[in-house]
Structure 1
Amino acid sequence: MSISFDFTGKTAIVTGGASGIGLAMAQEFAAAGANVQIFDVNAEAAEKAAATIGPACQWVSGSVSSPEAVAASCDAARSAFGKIDILMNNAGIAGSEPSIDLPLKDWSRAIDVNLTGVFLFAQTAARHMRDTGGGAIVNTASMFGVIAGPERASYCATKAGVVALTKVLASEWASLGIRVNAIGPGYVDTALIQTLAAEGRLDVERLKQRTPAGRLGTVKEIARSGLYLASDASDFVTGQVLLADGGWSSYSYL
């Protein structure tokens, strides 16, 4: 098996790590030698995912918007593995409905999970990293954090917030040895996409035609983009957003 980067002896927390992109991240880090913690709101899924990875993977369940759960996650990782080297701040929720009808509760929930949760985990992990010489934080934003998507007000707003937050934290924490970057995935072949397509709510073929690469991304491709930003190969990279969208955001044809 070819491993692009060596993370032997390092510890990575992956939020939203029980499925989709987050699970792929956890698997890729474990394959590259890292100790991994899967943090997910779904306890059953988190336990199953950790079991498939093996003894170097622990799991913690909770909400990223809960300060107590976030603190417990970071404390557990440091207790089990000695330190926190990497935070893959991946947990998030989607949202797609006409803005004029968007309920305030849905708007607020998106902010709580997609933006406040990212800040809470970054802040808490950074305090641990500061004590042990630094680390790398990779936030999962979206291509819709830099371009607009109709009927995605809460999603675009929160992901744009993640982009701005990434740059602020990078500029503040570089002196602490903490790098902060973000990934901006495009349309990725996940269970959610497959479900939406099966329900007739998403036209996958049209998405492929609109994407210059001519296909959807894979969860492994997004995960490996994250591994690059977390690795020593990107030592001089901080405050950046790596768009992994098959060219979508660079292409104006509809």
Structure 2
Amino acid sequence: MSNVQDTTQKDIDAHALHAEVQYKNFSDLAGKVVFITGAGSGIGRAMADAFAVNGARLALLDINAELLNKAQQELQQTWPGIEVETVVASITDDVAVENAVAAAQARFGRIDVLLNNAGISMNKPTLELAAADWRRAIDINLNGAFYCAQSAARRMIAQGSGVILNTASMYGTVAAPERAAYCSSKAAVVMLTKVLAVEWAPSGLRVNALAPGYVQTALTDELVRTGRMDFDALIARTPARRLGKTHEIATLALFLASDSAAYINGQAIVADGGWSAYSYI
């Protein structure tokens, strides 16, 4: 089995990310207030960099205080003068979520974009899936997404505009064995996205979902290390013959949050290197 490259220094490469997005026109995002959950690592951390490149003001939430503080320090070092508010909280706590969003609104005066990114993986044979594991996946991936969307939307509807991007998964659109809790929770996020999109569009909101395939993060590295993921088989199965990069998902979020995507609403945008299109086994 091949080893996935170490992501401790590759997870976020601010200079590579800047090179990726600097030629794209997302100037309408400058000054926007962007609330990101799961912002301490992985895709959420890449999102923070991507929106920072484009002059956004950031409110970052994560359950890991150490990662969150590191993210804030690195962002402020890379882009001096950037406004960054942080809060340590669990998205499964609806009261903590409401307090965090209220604090961001108090600091910045509004909430323009919610990147509803926090979530967990759950890869276990279904007959061995404990009830506690099932509840944990649903509580974080689905309930947490709902609490954050509801809290942010209260502010967005009052101001007459806003964008919510829920991080789902390609496994919210296609099935796989030993992922009953994960697939179910992410499929529910896709349907939640559609419901909120049609309900809140008349109030000036857009709600879409990002549905990444396999993206190289510390989480995928851990799955390979513990033998829960066969890296060689995974690459062979992916038409692009590689994993996705966190900045590629972050750049997709930039587009969907921008005015360039003003007529895209209620969609789950899959970015999986062709995985779900490839039906040959």
Distance 1:11 1:30 in 2: 11
The reply on whether 1:40 has 2:62 as its aligned counterpart is yes
- Render the CA deviation track for 1:2-29: whole Å, top value 9, x for unaligned: 1521211101011001000000001100
Which of 12, 33, 39 aligns to 1:11? It is 33
Q: Match of 1:231?
A: 258
Distance 2:138 2:221 in 1: 25
- Greater RCO, 1 or 2 (C-alpha within 8 Å, sep 6+): 2
CA contact (8 A) 1:95 1:154 kept: yes
1:69 Cα deviation from its structure 2 partner: 1.1
Runs of 4+ in 1 over 2 A off after TM superposition: 198-201
What letter corresponds to residue 235 of structure 2 in structure 1?
A: K
The reply on whether 1:249 has 2:280 as its aligned counterpart is no
Which of 91, 116, 120 aligns to 2:118? It is 91
Q: Match of 1:219?
A: 246
The reply on whether 1:200 has 2:227 as its aligned counterpart is yes
1:101 Cα deviation from its structure 2 partner: 1.6
What's the secondary structure of 2:276's corresponding residue? helix
> When the two structures are aligned, how many residues end up with a matched partner?
254
1:65 Cα deviation from its structure 2 partner: 1.1
Q: Match of 1:180?
A: 207
Distance 1:146 1:186 in 2: 11
The reply on whether 1:149 has 2:176 as its aligned counterpart is yes
Q: Match of 2:156?
A: 129
User: Normalised by the size of structure 1, how large is the TM-score?
Assistant: 0.97
Distance 1:98 1:246 in 2: 26
Gaps of 5+ in 1: none
The reply on whether 1:240 has 2:240 as its aligned counterpart is no
Distance 1:3 1:220 in 2: 14
Which of 62, 82, 97 aligns to 2:89? It is 62
What letter corresponds to residue 41 of structure 2 in structure 1?
A: S
Distance 2:157 2:102 in 1: 14
1:80 Cα deviation from its structure 2 partner: 1.3
Root-mean-square deviation over aligned CA pairs: 1.0
CA contact (8 A) 1:3 1:31 kept: no
What's the secondary structure of 1:147's corresponding residue? coil
- The alignment-based identity, stated in percent, is 50
What letter corresponds to residue 149 of structure 2 in structure 1?
A: A
Distance 1:3 1:66 in 2: 39
1:203 Cα deviation from its structure 2 partner: 1.6
What's the secondary structure of 1:17's corresponding residue? coil
Q: Match of 1:50?
A: 72
Q: Match of 2:48?
A: 26
Matches within 5 A, 1:91-110: 91-110=118-137
1:100 Cα deviation from its structure 2 partner: 1.1
Distance 1:252 1:113 in 2: 30
Gaps of 5+ in 2: 1-18, 77-81
What's the secondary structure of 1:250's corresponding residue? coil
